[in-house]
Every structure is written in structure tokens, then in C-alpha cells.
């Protein structure tokens, strides 16, 4: 059993570490996506640099990177606390992927995948808030940080188990840290809006 637990933990991080945006951009452009736009490997930066078609592909795979470790952990080792650890490791893997020197994305899509496997109703409310903020402001970074905060609040209001609330609060602080440069640009009025392509 111990070996299985270790394998699950290692799998969660390594699977989350797969740099989908980096790979797709490298294959199509023969360049490093981390040299363009926000310099992140996630779907938002790929969308900005390569367009909707590539951005959606990256988003789908990044969501799966968060969903599968949690889903499989719950299926084969039905311990929600352990599944939450697997989800967190997948998100950390996306942000700090071992394959490309620990410089990856900002964790939002992978977080959505993990939340989908953990508790769906807080996620649906949070996604509605995300969409509303993007429509009103066109700032994906603002919507991402706000949504990351809304999930633990919604989980608490909907009386989900406290470990889910604590887990999502920890994820919120990680996403907040990953968006620190975006926050500074928002304050300065220099943040790019959705639809603005980078050179």
C-alpha cells in the first residue's frame, strides 16, 4: 500500500508537470513560449500568442492534468484527504514542472480540473464569476485570482468538508503568488486584456 501511495504522489506531480503549452508551441513554432507574452506555459498565454485554437487545446489538457490524479486517487484509494494532496501536487507540477527547469504556468486550468473532481458546485459558481469578470473587464488574470478566492468561500458556504476549504485556500495563495506580476501590472494599468495579442 505504501508503494502505491508513493507512486500516486509521484504520478500526480509528474503528470501535472507535463508542459502542454510549451510542447505545443515548440512543435508549431520551434520556439520557447516562455520567451513571449506573460512568459507562462498556460492556456492564456498560448491563446494570446497563438490564438484560440491552440489556447483551447492547451486548456483542455491542462484541466485533465488536475482532474485525473484526483479522480484516480478517489477511485483506487478512496481517501479524500489523499486525493486533495494529489490534486495539489498536480497543480504545483503545472506551475513548477521538472521537465523544463521548474518554470511553467500559473495553475488555473489545472486547478479547475482538480476542483471538478473534488466538489463541482463551488466550481460552477466560481466559473460563473470568472466568466462575468472576463466579460466585464477582459482581464483574465483578475478573473483568475478572484475565482480562486471564490471557490473556498463557496465551498464553506455550501458546507463542503473543511479539508476542501483548507485545500482550496492553499491553492488560492499559490495562484495569487503565481499572478503577482499580473497584479502589479493591473495596479499600474499595464495588464493586457483578453484578445490583445502580443508580438
- Every domain of the chain and the residues it spans: 2-188
Please give the average per-residue pLDDT across 71-95, as a whole number.
95
Can you tell me the distance from the alpha carbon of 102 to that of 32, in angstroms, rounded to the nearest whole number? Answer: 14
Can you tell me the distance from the alpha carbon of 24 to that of 46, in angstroms, rounded to the nearest whole number? Answer: 9
CA–CA–CA angle 60, 182, 143 (5° rounding): 55
Cβ 64 vs Cβ 117: under 8 Å:
no
Please give the average per-residue pLDDT across 171-178, as a whole number.
97
Averaged confidence pLDDT in the chain? 94
For 2-16, 80-94, 137-151, 181-195, which range has the lowest pLDDT when averaged over its residues?
181-195
pLDDT band of 100, cuts 50, 70, 90:
very high
- Segment 17-45, tens digit of pLDDT: 999 999 999 999 999 999 998 889 999 99
Residue 93 clears pLDDT 90, i.e. is over it: yes
Please give the average per-residue pLDDT across 116-126, as a whole number.
96
pTM score of the predicted model = 0.94
Those residues whose C-beta lies under 8 Å from the C-beta of residue 141, and which sit 6 or more positions away, are 44, 179, 182, 183, 185, 186, 191
Q: What is the pLDDT of residue 2?
A: 86
Please give the average per-residue pLDDT across 124-143, as a whole number.
96
pLDDT band of 194, cuts 50, 70, 90:
confident
Q: What is the pLDDT of residue 1?
A: 65
Q: 14: exposed, middle or buried (C-beta count within 10 Å: 0-12, 13-18, 19+)?
A: middle
Can you tell me the distance from the alpha carbon of 86 to that of 117, in angstroms, rounded to the nearest whole number? Answer: 11
Please give the average per-residue pLDDT across 107-114, as a whole number.
97
Q: What is the pLDDT of residue 56?
A: 95
Can you tell me the distance from the alpha carbon of 152 to that of 149, in angstroms, rounded to the nearest whole number? Answer: 6
CA–CA–CA angle 180, 173, 182 (5° rounding): 20
Can you tell me the distance from the alpha carbon of 179 to that of 163, in angstroms, rounded to the nearest whole number? Answer: 24
Q: What is the pLDDT of residue 150?
A: 97
Amino acid at each position: 500500500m505504501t508503494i502505491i501511495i508513493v507512486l500516486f504522489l509521484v504520478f500526480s506531480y509528474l503528470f501535472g508537470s507535463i508542459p502542454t503549452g510549451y510542447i505545443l508551441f515548440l512543435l508549431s513554432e520551434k520556439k520557447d513560449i516562455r520567451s513571449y507574452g506573460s512568459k507562462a506555459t498556460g492556456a492564456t498565454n498560448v491563446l494570446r500568442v497563438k490564438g484560440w485554437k491552440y489556447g483551447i487545446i492547451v486548456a483542455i489538457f491542462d484541466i485533465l492534468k488536475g482532474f485525473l490524479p484526483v479522480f484516480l486517487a478517489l477511485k483506487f484509494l478512496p481517501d479524500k484527504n489523499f486525493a486533495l494532496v494529489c490534486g495539489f501536487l498536480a497543480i504545483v507540477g503545472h506551475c513548477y514542472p521538472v521537465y523544463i527547469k521548474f518554470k511553467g504556468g500559473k495553475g488555473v486550468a489545472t486547478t479547475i480540473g482538480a476542483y471538478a473532481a473534488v466538489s463541482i458546485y463551488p466550481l460552477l459558481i466560481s466559473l460563473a464569476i470568472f466568466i462575468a469578470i472576463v466579460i466585464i473587464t477582459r482581464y483574465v488574470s483578475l478573473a483568475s485570482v478572484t475565482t480562486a478566492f471564490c471557490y473556498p468561500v463557496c465551498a464553506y458556504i455550501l458546507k463542503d468538508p473543511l479539508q476542501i476549504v483548507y485545500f482550496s485556500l492553499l491553492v488560492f495563495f499559490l495562484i495569487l503568488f503565481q499572478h503577482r506580476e499580473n497584479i502589479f501590472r493591473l495596479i499600474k494599468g499595464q495588464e493586457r486584456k483578453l484578445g490583445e495579442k502580443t508580438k
